[in-house]
Chains A and B, each alone.
Chain A
Amino acid sequence: MAGNLVQGAVFTVMVVRAGMLRDPEFQDELSRQIDRSPRFFQNAPVVLDLKGAEAFATAEEFAQAKELLRQYTLALVGVQNALPAQVEAAAGAGLASFAPNATNPSRRQAPAPEAQPAAAAPEPERQPSRPQTRLVTEPVRSGTQIYARGTDLVVTAAVSAGAELVADGNIHVYGTLRGRALAGARGDAGARIFCSRLEAELVSIAGRYLVSEQLPAEQRGFAVEIALVDEQLTITRN
């Protein structure tokens, strides 16, 4: 996935169980709900949950479902829990396929995986699959270099002068940062550096850097967040 071209975002999407569509009372119930809060339902996206609804098998049936929901100002955008044949049929009706195991909020199921449709990435992504955040709980001593490849680095102790933290993602230091911290080492300009106390020798994001004497005196010794804003390293007190 080209990170620059495709951006992810999280959406809340209503899920309608396919079986309900054919329930005679469904349309009455639906219109009552929509009457109560018409704004909320205006053009709202809906995903059709096909669990236990093998009857839906042709593109035509999906097109009908789409049309039915359209009458109630709802936009059917995709299906979930679909069999391979159903995915294909739905695609024929212009519907996307959402992760088969995605939770169905309408059934108040397990809280475990929050609605994470495969098509919509959970947050602005750097990597298609991100390794686990690197966690360091011991003080990082002078002369030590830690590299969090392809991920974030979290240090819950002090980082000594002469130590170096490098991460492809963000760097968090819950302690005094006296050494160097280089976030977004592979060019991610969205990476940030956070520390409980800024005494750093050098901070860098995506190649832009500030050395110790360039750090504003009013930020030194404080908890700060460092980000790249308009190509400029910007330090804000937290």
Chain B
Amino acid sequence: MAKVVAITSGKGGVGKTTTSAAVAAGLALRGHKTVVIDFDVGLRNLDLVMGCERRVVFDFINVINGDANLNQALIKDKRNDNLFIFPTSQTRDKDALKRDGVDRVLEELKQQFDYIICDSPAGIEHGAITALYFADAAIIVTNPEVSSVRDSDRIIGILASRSRRAERNEPPVELNLLLTRYDPGRVAKGEMLTVDDVLEILSIPLLGVIPESESVLRASNTGTPVTFDEDSPAGRAYLDAVARFLGEQREMRFVQPERRGFLKVLSAQLFLSGAPDQRIDCQGAAEDRAVA
């Protein structure tokens, strides 16, 4: 049974599109046929992040309006056969997202795909509501700072009250928290909220913590989902999150400040000898590559 997953946050700039691309690519790497849809009509970015901007002919709105069929609009990723991108229109606005049209397109996609990832626009207006309305699961993308947390809280409330599952009294949308742009060093200095702070306020299951990483910006600019970059801590954190989304147990990594030089080696040894509170990033550890 195909699953519709909304990537949402309320606040802008927290990493929804990066996450949509990374999670979609991660699911595809795990062998699931996945499509990622850009719901940010008029502010199209997903095609850039996925590196397919030069191949867009028809878009989501064309298909909603019946001007093109699904297979004309879907773009197959060149790096992974399981991954498809469904770009949106840059010339229209969110009003073009007719709910019954979106419903029809999603139903059609469900025939072909295992996972349908919906990259939501920021805000709580029509576009964002439409992106989450049909969701079976949601990944709430949150930065460790108060305004992002509050907006996420608002979005969780909307998922619980205004999604189709809520309206039909079906089991609620499955909620997952993804904490992005997490900088353990700044958290340690008290400049950012800790994982526990955020969890205490939002009280939904934690899917993963993505460390602030240069590789994310590099991935965006080169049109490569960060999960395709095995050497990137962010990429590995996303792969862990995808594994958890698929029901696996993984240790939380990247939540402690990174050690330098011999200290890093020392703490890595502590980790191997089983000290329970040493959840550190052991660079080069074989398990990191187990996912790919």
Contact = CB atoms under 8 A, between A and B. Distances in A.
Partners in one complex: yes
Interface of A: 138-144, 157-158, 160-163, 176, 178
The B interface is mostly helix, strand or loop, or mixed, namely helix
A158 to B, nearest CB: 6
The 3 closest A-B pairs by CB, nearest first: A141-B157, A142-B153, A142-B154
B161 interface: yes
Contact of B157 (A143, A157, A178): A143
A142 B203 contact: no
A142 B150 contact: yes
26 contacts: A139-B203, A140-B157, A141-B153, A141-B157, A141-B160, A142-B150, A142-B151, A142-B153, A142-B154, A142-B157, A143-B124, A143-B153, A143-B154, A143-B157, A143-B158, A144-B157, A144-B161, A157-B203, A158-B203, A160-B153, A160-B201, A161-B150, A161-B201, A162-B153, A176-B200, A178-B201
A224 B161 CA distance: 30
Nearest to B204: A139
Given A141-B156, A143-B124, A161-B150, 15 more contacts: A138-B160, A141-B160, A142-B154, A143-B154, A143-B157, A143-B158, A144-B161, A157-B203, A158-B203, A160-B153, A160-B157, A162-B150, A162-B153, A162-B154, A176-B200
A139 B153 CA distance: 10
Contact of B153 (A138, A157, A161, A176): A161
Most chain B CB atoms below 10 A, which of A138, A142, A157, A158? A142
Nearest to A141: B157
* Contact-residue bracket for chain B: 10 to 19
Contacts of B201: 158, 160-161, 178
Contacts, number: 36
Contacts of B124: 143
Interface string B184-203: 00000000000000001101
The A interface is mostly helix, strand or loop, or mixed, namely loop
Nearest to B156: A141
B150 A160 contact: yes
A56 B140 CA distance: 74
Interface in B229-286: none
A111 to B, nearest CB: 37
A162 B202 CA distance: 13
A119 B66 CA distance: 71
A157 B160 CA distance: 15
Interface in B144-195: 150-151, 153-154, 156-158, 160-161
A199 to B, nearest CB: 10
Contacts of B153: 141-143, 160-162
Nearest to A158: B203
A160 B203 CA distance: 10
Contacts of B203: 139, 157-158
A139 B199 CA distance: 13
A143 B203 CA distance: 16
B46 to A, nearest CB: 27
Contacts of B161: 144
Contacts of A163: 157
A222 B151 CA distance: 26
Contacts of A144: 157, 161
A138 B153 CA distance: 13
A25 B172 CA distance: 69
Contacts of A142: 150-151, 153-154, 157
A10 B292 CA distance: 72
Most chain A CB atoms below 10 A, which of B153, B156, B161? B153
Contacts of A143: 124, 153-154, 157-158
Contacts of A176: 200
